[in-house]
């Protein structure tokens, strides 16, 4: 199986194109550029009362980048509700390499020390390309997504790409937009900070927001963050 060139992969994301495979055992990928693109506006996340209550309860512990390989493997698993997967060995290996390069991240949801949900995606400029999520317990993936949206908002990101819309994502605020509109949003996310319009997007800013009294060098991206902090970050207006 030919490995994917990760530098080329980042360029593809920067052009609005992403890879998929026919199934887990496929030896090749194909490149996708949908005519309609799913995005989740970062100021449009639907934080229901029940989800806010779940977050504040800290029923789940949420970390970032502590179990990337386990998350992507779980996302690639076949389940009763998801009999197939588009994540083949090429894509999984390339994302693991991007993770070591600082371009791929995971959000993990834990319950009593057990990994019960999470998501992963690719970071490029002010854009985050959400690749896949999984859930083994009710609300586990919703909590992971809420943490991701809060992280992106606090960090100055402007685009959360969902690729395709599902009922689950739509219930959380995701919308579908034409390809030309998506390309304009992507261009802005990739060039906005480069033009000096705002500080460079910072994926770790939320950790400092959650621990404002801690010296920057002691803040760990993997430290669990209070659900109350997440609700606070999502409630803030830009």
- DSSP annotation of 187 reads H
Rounded to 10 deg, the angle between the 227-235 and 49-57 helix axes is: 140
Instruction: Report helix, strand or coil for 106.
Output: strand
**What pLDDT score does 187 carry?**
96
Under-70 pLDDT residues of the chain: 1, 81-83, 193-198, 210-223, 237-238
How confident is the model at residue 136, as a pLDDT? 94
Q: What pLDDT sits at residue 218?
A: 45
Mean pLDDT of the chain: 89
Q: How many CB atoms lie within 10 A of CB 213?
A: 4
Q: Tell me the pTM.
A: 0.90
Q: How many of the other CB atoms lie within 10 Å of CB of 23?
A: 12
- Please tell me whether residue 116 adopts helix, strand or coil conformation: strand
CATH fold group of domain 6-235: Aminopeptidase (3.40.630)
- Is the separation of the CB atoms in 33 and 16 below 8 Å? yes
pLDDT reported for residue 84: 76
Model pLDDT, residue 164: 94
pLDDT score at 237 = 60
């Amino acid at each position: 199986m030919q490995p994917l060139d990760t530098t080329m992969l980042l360029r593809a994301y920067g052009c609005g194109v992403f890879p998929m495979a026919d199934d887990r055992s496929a030896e090749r990928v194909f490149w996708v550029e949908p005519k309609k693109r799913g995005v989740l506006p970062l100021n449009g996340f639907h934080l229901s009362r029940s989800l806010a209550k779940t977050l504040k309860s800290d029923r789940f512990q949420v970390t970032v980048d502590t179990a990337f390989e386990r998350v992507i493997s779980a996302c690639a698993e076949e389940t009763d509700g998801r009999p197939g997967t588009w994540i083949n060995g090429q894509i999984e290996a390339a994302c693991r390499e991007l993770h070591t390069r600082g371009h791929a991240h995971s959000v993990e949801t834990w319950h009593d020390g057990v990994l019960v949900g999470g998501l992963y995606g690719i970071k490029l400029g002010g854009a985050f390309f959400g690749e896949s999520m999984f859930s083994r317990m009710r609300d586990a993936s919703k909590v992971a997504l809420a943490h991701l949206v809060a992280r992106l908002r606090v960090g100055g990101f402007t685009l959360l790409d969902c690729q395709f819309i599902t009922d689950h994502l739509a219930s959380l605020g995701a919308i579908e937009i034409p390809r030309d509109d998506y390309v304009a949003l992507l261009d802005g996310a990739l060039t906005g900070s480069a033009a000096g319009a705002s500080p460079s997007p910072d994926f770790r800013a939320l950790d400092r927001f959650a621990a404002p009294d801690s010296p920057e060098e002691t803040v760990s991206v993997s430290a669990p963050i209070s659900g109350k902090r997440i609700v606070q970050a999502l409630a803030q207006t830009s």
